Amino acid sequence: MKQKLEDIARIAGVNPATVSRAINKPEKVKFETRQKIQAIINELGYKPNYFAKGLMTGKTDSVGILTVNRSNPYFEEIIEGIERLLIPDGTYLYLCNCECSLELEKRNLEEMIRRNIDALFVIETPSLNSKNNFYVNRQFHCPVILINQYIKASGDNFVIRCDQHPGLLDVFKEVERRSLYPFMLFIPAMKSYAYALKMRFLEKWRRENNIPKAQASCIKLPDITGPNNETSVWSSFDIAKKILSSPARPRAVLAANDLIALGILAAARELKIKVPEELSVAGVDNTFISRISIPPLSTIDLRTGEVGEKAAELYQRVKNEPEKDHPRVLVLPSHFNRRGTF
C-alpha cells in the first residue's frame, strides 16, 4: 500500500507539516526529530511527491532537455555530458526529441514548463534556426541554457557553444599547405545555422585566397533534410560514389558531420580509392564514430561531451548561487583532430 505523508506523521507522533519540513527544509527541524522521521521513511519506503514539493519549495530537482534527435551521436554525446554531472547530483532529467517539427518543439516546451522544471537545456532545436524563435525575448521561470547557438543571450537565457572557426581554419590551412585541390565541402540541403556557417567560411576563404570556384566547391546533399542518422550515411554514399567516379573528382573532402564523412569513406572503399593517399577526408563533430571508423576519421572536434558538462556546471552554479551575476556566454574553441584519413 502506498504510504502518505500523513502516515509518516502519525507514526512519528508529529504534525504532517513537520514531516514536510524534514523532507524539504531539514535545517528547520531538530536533529533528533529528523532522524526519527528519516528512519520511518526508510522503513516504509516512502517516496515524496515531487510535484507537491515543487509547489511548496518552487524546486522540483528536475531539468528538461529539448533536442532534435538523440539517435544522432552528436546530440547524444552532449546529452551524456549533461547526464554525467546531474544524475549523480540527484537531478531528474526529462528528455524530449523535437525531430524537425516546430509544432512538436513548442508542445514539448510547454509541457516542460508545466512540470515546473528547475532549468531547461535546448540543443539546436528547429526554432533556433527559424524566425519563430521560442526562447529570445520570452521570460521563463527558470534558467534556459542554449547549447551551440549563435544567438545573443537575453533575459534568463545562457549560451554555451563550441566555436567552429578555429577547427575549420585548421582544415583549410592544411588543404592550402598541401595543395589538396579540387576541394569539396559536403553539406545537407537543410536550413541550419551551423551548415550555413561552414558555407560562408568556404566562400570567405576562397575569396581571400583567390581560389577558383572549380577548385573549392560546395556539394549540397538534397536527401538529408531531417535529423542526421543512418540516412545521412547512405545519402552521402550515393552522391559521393557518383562524384568520386567522375573525371573531376576531388582530392580532399570536408563533410559537414562525421556521419556524412562515413558515407564518403564507404564510397571511396567501394571504388578502391586509397584514403588518404588519393582522397583526404575529414568530418566535423569528433563523435565516437570518428574514433571507430576504419581508418580512424580525421575530424573537427566540437567538444560535444565537454560542452554538455559545461552546461550542467553552469546550471549547478546558478542553482547554488542564484543571486550571483553569472557570465551569460561561454565559448570553447574547436580544433582539428588529424587521424588516418587526411
Q: Is the CB of residue 236 less than 8 Å from the CB of residue 221?
A: yes
The number of distinct structural domains making up the chain is 3
Across the chain, mean pLDDT equals: 88
Co-location of 155 and 218 in the same domain: no
Co-location of 288 and 173 in the same domain: yes
Pairing of strands 183-188, 252-255: parallel
Give CA–CA dist 153/161, Å, rounded. 12
Co-location of 112 and 203 in the same domain: no
Reported confidence tier of residue 9, pLDDT bands at 50, 70, 90 = confident
Co-location of 146 and 238 in the same domain: no
Residue 88: give its domain's CATH number.
Answer: 3.40.50.2300
Co-location of 183 and 295 in the same domain: yes
- CA nearest neighbour of 258 among 226, 232, 223: 232
Domain membership flag for residue 253: yes
The grid coordinates listed for 161 are 557553444
Co-location of 294 and 175 in the same domain: yes
Residue 21: give its domain's CATH number.
Answer: 1.10.260.40
Q: Model confidence over 161-198: pLDDT tens digits? A: 999 999 999 999 999 999 999 999 999 887 788 888 99
Domain membership flag for residue 93: yes
Co-location of 287 and 227 in the same domain: yes
Domain membership flag for residue 309: yes
- Domain with 130, as residue range(s), is 62-163+304-333
* pLDDT the model gives residue 55: 45
Dihedral angle sign, alpha carbons of residues 179, 240, 245, 219:
negative
Domain membership flag for residue 316: yes
Domain membership flag for residue 340: no
Residue spans of beta strands (DSSP E) within the chain: 62-67, 92-97, 119-123, 144-147, 157-163, 183-188, 216-221, 252-255, 280-285, 298-301, 329-333, 335-337
Domain membership flag for residue 70: yes
Domain membership flag for residue 341: no
* pLDDT the model gives residue 154: 59
Least confident residue range of 99-108, 174-183, 217-226, 275-284: 217-226
Q: Model confidence over 116-133: pLDDT tens digits? A: 899 999 998 888 767 777
Domain membership flag for residue 342: no
Co-location of 189 and 262 in the same domain: yes
Q: pTM (2 decimals)? A: 0.82
Co-location of 170 and 270 in the same domain: yes
Give CA–CA dist 282/254, Å, rounded. 5
Answer yes or no: is pLDDT of 212 > 80.
yes
- CA nearest neighbour of 249 among 266, 273, 265: 273
Q: Return phi, psi of residue 183, to 5°.
A: -115, 140
Give CA–CA dist 296/262, Å, rounded. 10
Q: Model confidence over 19-58: pLDDT tens digits? A: 877 776 677 788 888 888 888 877 777 666 555 555 445 5
Pairing of strands 298-301, 335-337: antiparallel
From the centroid of its chain, how far is CA 183?
Answer: 29
Co-location of 126 and 141 in the same domain: yes
Co-location of 181 and 263 in the same domain: yes
Co-location of 103 and 177 in the same domain: no
